[in-house]
Amino acid sequence: MPSSRLTIPEIQAKKGKEKICALTAYDFLFARLLDEAGLDLILVGDSAAMVVLGYEDTLPVTMEEMLVLARAVSRGAKRALVVGDMPFLSYQVSDEEAIRNAGRFLKEGGCQAVKIEGGREMAPRISRIVQAGIPVLGHIGLTPQRAVSLGGFKVQGRDVTSAKRLLEDAQILVEAGVFALVLECVPRELAAEITRRIPVPTIGIGAGAETDGQILVLHDVLGLFEGFRPRFVKSYAHLAEEARRAIKEYIREVREGLFPQEEHGFRLSEEVKKALKL
Ligand code: KIV
């Protein structure tokens, strides 16, 4: 049966024609909502570490945890391309480990591609993974797994040396075989120039409006995550407030005996009541 899922060439063909819309998701329910809304790409981001699992940063999340989330997302998304985010230390140690772990996102997680953070230093590894038949989405600029070495969650490429380095890294990653490139926290003009220079789509997060697509963390977009909120985030709803209101209302009604009402329950038939002498 032909699949209606977006393919990588279809995503790539949008470059310069139509914006690529991407968000993260970490479970079946939201993946289905995003898919039904017509999103192009769903990233099972390692941001799950913070917004789902409650860790301080993205470093502790494991392959096993990511695979559970990836499987749930894949079950919910029928049309969007699903990309698994390779967690810290799942691809840094050796080519062999990186290929095996990337492959697990496809074989066990139901994803169509993986994302890997890093510039030129990761290019040979990315090339090996791509040669193994696993599509890779690159990620440069602010790479949260290296936030400590980068001096925190800061905009990257602001001075001449680092801007040139990012321009070169983008080209090197294209040569290594990435099918698209996430640009995180990069000045708008630099992201626009990278977008002009490389043949594959750029997907920006805090990188201005000239990239080929945009990605944000779903829990930020929905106003569900109330922790750290970068400047580039726009919330289109305030679901945490709404959830808090609903839960408080539930607690009040249970405490006051207002819930459940007759319509929320079940009754025995007269016959059974009689037999039980109720
Ligand atoms: O893990 C993540 O959420 C990301 C971003 C690009 C959204 O890597």
Using the mean position of ligand 1's atoms as its centre, give its distance from the Cα of residue 275 in Å.
Answer: 61
| 1 has pLDDT over 50 | no
* Contact present, 15 and 180 (Cβ < 8 Å): no
Q: For ligand 1, which residues put their CB under 6 angstroms from it?
A: 24, 43, 45-47, 85, 182, 184, 205, 215, 217
Q: What does the pLDDT read at residue 229?
A: 85
* Average pLDDT score over the chain: 96
> Is residue 184 flagged as an active site residue?
yes
* DSSP-derived pairing of the beta strands 20-24 and 213-216: parallel
The β-bridge partners of 138 are 116, 181
Query: Which of 31-45, 123-137, 193-207, 220-234 has the lowest average pLDDT?
Result: 220-234
Distance of alpha carbon 117 from alpha carbon 143, whole angstroms: 6
**Per-residue pLDDT, 127:** 98
Residue of the nearest CA to atom 8 in ligand 1?
Answer: 45
The mean pLDDT value for 111-117 works out to: 98
Q: What is the DSSP string of 40-101?
A: SEEEE-TTHHHHTS--SSSTT--HHHHHHHHHHHHHH-SSSEEEEEPPTTSSSS-HHHHHHH
Alpha-carbon Rg for the chain in angstroms: 22
Q: Which of 21, 30, 42, 46 should be mutated for ligand 1, with most atoms under 8 A from CB?
A: 46
Mean pLDDT, to the nearest integer, of 202-212?
A: 98
Which pair of structure tokens corresponds to residue 192?
């626009």
Tell me how far apart the alpha carbons of residues 163 and 151 are, in angstroms, rounded to a whole number.
Answer: 16
Does residue 38 have a pLDDT over 50? yes
Model confidence band, residue 153 (pLDDT cutoffs 50, 70, 90): confident
Q: Where are the domains of the chain?
A: 8-237, 242-275
Judged by DSSP in three states, 180 sits in strand
Task: Give the pLDDT of residue 78.
Answer: 97
Q: pLDDT for 43-62, tens place per residue?
A: 999 999 999 999 999 999 99
What is the model's pLDDT at position 2? 47
In the structure, how many helices (H) and strands (E) does the chain have? 11, 8
pLDDT at 3: 55
Closest to 87 in 3D by CA, of 139, 15, 29? 139
Query: What are the residues whose beta carbons fall under 8 Å from the beta carbon of 234, sequence distance 6 or more?
Result: 216, 221
What CATH number is given for 8-237 in this structure?
Answer: 3.20.20.60
What atom in ligand 1 is closest to the CA of residue 46?
A: 1
- The single residue listed with the structure tokens 């024609």 is 17
Residue bearing the CA closest to ligand 1, atom 1: 45
Please tell me the predicted confidence (pLDDT) of residue 11. 98
**Does position 204 have pLDDT exceeding 90, yes or no?**
yes
Ligand 1 atom index nearest CA of 216: 7
Round to whole Å and give the CA distance between 235 and 204. 16
- Read off the pLDDT of each residue in 260-266 and give the average, rounded to a whole number: 97
Q: What is the pLDDT of residues 239-249, one digit of tens each?
A: 999 999 999 99
217 C-alpha to center of ligand 1: Å? 6
Can you tell me the distance from the alpha carbon of 11 to that of 256, in angstroms, rounded to the nearest whole number? 54
